[in-house]
Chain A
Amino acid sequence: MTSPQVLLLAIGFLAVGLWLMLPRGNARGRGWGAALSVIGIMAMIQAGSLAGQLPLAAPWGYRSVVWLLGGITVVSALGAVVMRNPVYCALWFALSLLGTAGLMLLIGAQFLALATVVVYAGAIVVTFLFVLMLAQPEGQAYYDRISWEAALSAITGALMIGCLTAAISRLPYADLQPDAATLKLRDRSFAVEQHVAELGGRLFSEHLIAVEIAALLLLVALIGATAMVRQGAKPPSAEGEGVAESSVAAAKGGPR
């Protein structure tokens, strides 16, 4: 089979698999959905490889580690998206982040791998679990068991992945590749032993203004989040038309 046929087949498999896995009431077939999605993803990569005809320069051990970590990342991202219980979603998301960090570590982004684990898995996931415990002690909510337009969403996502895969496999890699002289020049700073020191040096010299802006952004986000939580618990104004009953009831507790 040629590459476009495999690609169409892969898009179909992935769409049906995603549709089966998304929460749709009490509908069954999630195991079949998972199997179909994995088959679709593998077929999609096969289609990309058929179209790309890329030379395999990396040793096979290196490539197999890449595929192992990539598989963990993608499968746990699928789990994070389709699980009915939000606590499981957060746990699958944490696993997906660990896979991402491993992938980054593998291609020489040591600091980013560490930052991903520390910032996301350390801080954000703990915050997620905190919010989940605050919000959902009962575990079973009707809105976790139904989706907006599960079929359309699955088709959109599968088409998106298929188009991106096809586009990536057709990139003119030979033209994109920098010549050996440029690479050698860049290697003097990129392939250094003290990777993090070099990254920090560049961050605080070339990108100093961006660092300042990021600091400002963090401050604004901090103030905004605090203001939102403080204002949000107050009773809504009397002329607030669209305020539902439960919010008025919630406001009786007064501002916290």
Chain B
Amino acid sequence: MSDPSLLANYLWIGAMLFGIGLVGLAARRNLIVMFLSAEIMLQGVSISLVAWSRFYHDWGGQMFVLFIIAVAACEAAVALALTVVLFQRAGHLDVAFWQKLREDSLTEYVDHELPVVLDEESHWPELTPAGRRPAEDPTQTPYRSHV
């Protein structure tokens, strides 16, 4: 059954996923969240391809999605390795730290005001202390910018 309305519904869902992922990729500054947004865009394209495959009763779309999944797995491996390395070098996941990779003609982006942490939000659940505090490894401390 080739149903145009079903195809249109699926294409709309795919388009929305693509747009939402685009917003996340453009706006967020955390490396991992940017990567998640890119994956959401891939999901949107996958849904569209599967819908076309159903509409035409053709296997091509599903094959394409199969290879998209394979490429996404590769991308995840490389991107997470990059994230770990960048975190070890910078101490945090802020993508603005790497803006020295920009071109010469562009001006540097400066954060004018950083958000203050509100008191009611900085409350974390407390666990009952148990055992003794483990000895800290002094070689590990330089990796953490702020804990």
**Interface positions of A (Cβ within 8 A of B):** 18, 22-23, 25-26, 41, 44-45, 48, 52, 54-58, 62-63, 66-67, 70, 73-74, 77-78, 80-82, 86, 89-90, 93, 96-97, 100, 103-104, 107-109, 111-112, 115-116, 119-120, 123-124, 127-128, 131-132, 134-150, 152-154, 156-158, 160-161, 164-165, 168-169, 171, 173-174, 176-178, 183, 186-187, 189-191, 198-199, 202-203, 206-207, 210, 214, 217-218, 220-222, 224-226, 228-229, 231-233, 236, 242-244, 246-247, 249-253
Contact = CB atoms under 8 A, between A and B. Distances in A.
Contacts of A210: 63, 67
Interface string B53-75: 11111110011011101111111
6 contacts: A74-B16, A124-B39, A136-B93, A143-B95, A173-B4, A236-B89
Contact of A78 (B20, B73, B78): B20
Given A109-B50, A221-B77, A247 B89 contact: yes
Contacts of B32: 86, 89-90, 128, 131-132, 135
Nearest to B75: A221
Interface in B105-147: 111, 113-118, 121-122, 124, 139-140, 142-143, 145-147
Interface residues of B, number: 97
A112 B66 contact: yes
A120 B39 contact: yes
A227 B28 CA distance: 28
A191 B54 CA distance: 10
Given A80-B24, A109-B62, A156-B26, A225 B47 contact: no
Given A90-B36, A96-B43, A232-B89, A143 B8 contact: no
Contact of B36 (A93, A115, A140, A217): A93
Contacts of A243: 89
Closest 7 CB pairs of A and B: A232-B85, A157-B23, A81-B24, A221-B74, A161-B19, A164-B15, A173-B4
A49 B7 CA distance: 12
Contacts of B7: 173
Contact of A77 (B40, B58, B72, B146): B40
B13 A244 contact: no
Interface hub of B6, B20, B67, B113 (most chain A Cβ within 10 A) = B20
Contact of B63 (A82, A108, A149, A207): A207
Interface of B: 1-13, 15-24, 26-30, 32-33, 36-37, 39-40, 43, 46-47, 50-51, 53-59, 62-63, 65-67, 69-78, 80-97, 100, 111, 113-118, 121-122, 124, 139-140, 142-143, 145-147
Contacts of B92: 135, 141, 143
A65 to B, nearest CB: 11
A128 B30 CA distance: 13
A242 B33 contact: no
